[in-house]
Amino acid sequence: MILTVTLNTALDITYRVRSLRPHTSHRVTEVTERPGGKGLNVARVLAALGHEVTVTGFTGGATGRTVQDRLTAVPGLVDALVPVGGPTRRTIAVADEQSGDTTQLNEPGPTVTSAEWSAFQESYEDLVPSAAAVALCGSLPPGVPVGAYAGLIRTAKAAGVPVLLDTSGEALRRGIAARPDIVKPNADELSELTGSHEPLRATQDARRRGALAVVASLGKEGLLAATPEGRWRAAPPTAVHGNPTGAGDSVAAALLSGLVEELPWPARLTRAIALSAATVRSPVAGEFDRMAYEDLLDRVTVTQEASAA
The conformation of residue 87, written as its DSSP 8-state character, comes to: P
- Report d(CA 11, CA 9) in Å as an integer: 7
Angle among Cα 265, 270, 272 to the nearest 5 degrees reads 95
* C-beta separation of 102 from 94 below 8 A: yes
Phi, psi of 239 (to 5 degrees): -65, 145
How distant is the alpha carbon of residue 196 from its chain centre?
Answer: 23
How distant is the alpha carbon of residue 157 from its chain centre?
Answer: 20
- The H helix count followed by the E strand count for the chain is 10, 15
Burial class for 33, CB neighbours closer than 10 Å (0-12, 13-18, 19+): middle
Residue 19, number of CB atoms within 10 A of its CB:
10
Given the residues 166, 181, 249, 289, select the one marked as catalytic: 249
- Report d(CA 203, CA 110) in Å as an integer: 33
Residue 115, number of CB atoms within 10 A of its CB:
10
* C-beta separation of 87 from 93 below 8 A: no
Give the 3-state secondary structure percentages of the chain, helix then strand then coil, rounded to 5: 40, 25, 35
Q: What is the enclosing helix (H) or strand (E) of 191?
A: helix 187-194
Q: Confirm whether 188 is a catalytic residue.
A: no
Catalytic residues, which ones? 249
